[in-house]
Chain A
Amino acid sequence: MERAGRWLVRDIDLEVERGEIVTLIGPNGSGKSTTARMALGIIEPSEGTAWRAPRLKVGYVPQKLAVDWTLPLTVDRFLSLTNPLTAEEKASALESTGIAHLARAEIRNLSGGEFQRTMLARAVARRPDLLVLDEPVQGVDFSGEIALYELISSIRTNLHCGILMISHDLHVVMAATDRVICLNGHVCCHGTPQVVAESAEYRQLFGARGASQLAVYQHHHDHTHMPDGRVRHSDGTVTAHCHPDDGHHHHDGEHNHGDAKPGDEGNASDAR
């Protein structure tokens, strides 16, 4: 995707299978949302293609959604925005996201976290084949965040849908994530995050249930994108673009997937 002479993201090769959770992470402006929007067909890639299965039913939770105050819209009505739902379907979607009491509330009176749950409920209620979540837990408090991550992984099991999730959080990604793709204008690295379920520290911190849902993904970017579009690498060199295979990227040993126990060696599962 190129905008105004600047490549927002480039060289993305991404596939989401049914029943799989793929998480995109990366710093601000690394092209996570742009990638998701290309995958959804909201924007057309300026180079390459985005292929979606025919008659693919998509559920989308955008990063931002501002409901104008002139629009009278209740949670209940918002749920059936893009397809008709029965009362039971709505009720169970609200139940599962923990906001059953808000069915009659006006959208514009919801708090950030409540609205986030509402958007998730809406996307889930239409029983999608592909669920795309752009920062699904923003504005949700920490215990709610864990509950929502648990919910997302149960959605995958129940609906057997593919989930493409975006998170700017470099440290906490779900254990249920099958693949993590790190973007920084291009695919920086990708791999499987390891579960920290057995770690005693995490059990203590978040309780047994919470711990099983958390994984730590330590990350160091080995290059920075400068304002003029050039790239400075950790070895001090500057190049016009960055490509994974240009010899400036040092994946081995820099990424530490999974266990965060101090002293443990990082096991870079995506080393090329």
Chain B
Amino acid sequence: MLDDFFVRAIVAGAGVALVTGPLGCFIVWRRLAYFGDTLSHAALLGVAMAFLLEIDVTLAVFVVSVLVALSLLWLQRRAGLSSDALLGLLSHSALALGLVALAFMTWVRIDLMGLLFGDILAVSRSDIAAIYAGGAFVLAVLAVIWKPLFAATVSPELAAAEGMHPARANLVFMLLLAIVVAIAMKIVGVLLITALLIVPAATARRFASGPEQMAALSAVFGILAVIGGLFGSLKWDTPSGPTIVVAAMVLFILGLTPIATLATRGGGGK
């Protein structure tokens, strides 16, 4: 079954969506959309580093994302700038550094479009294995830190007062996000990872009555977007990464229409 590139693409995409859904909920709840962008822009620098040091791309992207996340934490304490400005600074510095570094390495022939927009149709069996192993790890860790992370999302002060160690949960969450960026990069590309984190979660918001439910629904909407997007890209011969994001957006818009409202009411939801 996995012999077919199209089936491989769906399996890989669904694996990524399964992880970005729940993680994306926290991005939406904590208003971290720009942070997701920053990490994914830094991924390009990671790719450049991988070529320069001749190491695995996914590993390099993960390391660079972690470094960017840690420097954000450090700058927040030191620089006296708003998080917003710091994120802009880090995001675009990392992106520009990555592009400059790639331009210097004239011996490297690199598919920049594939990096920016992903190349889901080229995923191999080992990519799928990496996605599912990494994804299972991320979801397992997320399940462990769910309670403190969620408490910290509602109120960091309250979580700290009642012994939930919010700082630790936040740090782990950032590491998880770095892993997700590293494994999702190949699917939708660095420019569109944030979309896969945010759009399904935003769609799920209207239908969910609890945080756990929203996380599960978000994963479902993400998978639907991957399947819809891939079939769309096959039918209209469009680039697959952007088509997946368009499909996610279409789901979001459908969720806003009266049809969806009727469906939720009729479906016994509140």
Contacts and interface: CB of A to CB of B under 8 A. Distances in A.
Interface of A: 37, 40-42, 58-60, 62, 65, 67-68, 70-74, 77-78, 81-83, 104, 106, 126, 132
Among B30, B31, B158, B211, chain A packs the most CB atoms within 10 A around the CB of B158
14 contacts: A37-B161, A42-B157, A42-B160, A59-B162, A60-B158, A60-B161, A60-B162, A62-B161, A71-B211, A72-B209, A72-B214, A81-B151, A82-B162, A126-B162
Given A77-B210, A77-B211, A82-B147, A71 B162 contact: no
A73 B161 contact: no
Contact-residue bracket for chain B: 20 to 34
A72 B210 contact: yes
B76 interface: no
A126 B163 CA distance: 13
B194 to A, nearest CB: 15
Contacts of A62: 155, 157-158, 161
A68 B161 contact: no
A132 B163 CA distance: 14
A37 B211 CA distance: 28
A70 B159 contact: no
B150 A70 contact: no
The dominant DSSP class at the A interface is loop
Interface string B143-169: 000010011011101111111100000
Contact of A65 (B29, B158, B164, B205): B158
A104 B164 CA distance: 25
A15 B210 CA distance: 39
Nearest to B147: A82
B52 to A, nearest CB: 40
Contact of A71 (B147, B154, B163): B154
B256 to A, nearest CB: 15
Nearest to B212: A77
Interface string B107-147: 00000000000000000000000000000000000000001
Contact of A74 (B154, B202, B205, B209): B209
A75 to B, nearest CB: 11
A101 B157 CA distance: 28
A209 to B, nearest CB: 32
A65 B161 contact: no
Contacts of B208: 72
A140 to B, nearest CB: 19
A126 B162 CA distance: 10
Interface in B209-224: 209-211, 213-214
A27 to B, nearest CB: 22
Contacts of B270: 104
A74 B210 contact: yes
A81 B151 CA distance: 6
Interface in B1-58: 28-31
Contacts of A71: 29, 153-154, 211
Contact of A132 (B29, B161, B164, B214): B161
B62 to A, nearest CB: 28
Closest 7 CB pairs of A and B: A60-B161, A40-B161, A82-B162, A42-B160, A72-B208, A71-B29, A65-B155
A58 B153 CA distance: 19
Contacts of B214: 72
Nearest to B30: A68
Contact of A41 (B147, B153, B160): B160
A169 to B, nearest CB: 22
A77 B214 CA distance: 13
Nearest to A66: B155
Contacts of A126: 162
Contacts of A81: 150-151, 154, 158
Nearest to A39: B161
B158 A82 contact: yes
Contacts of B202: 70
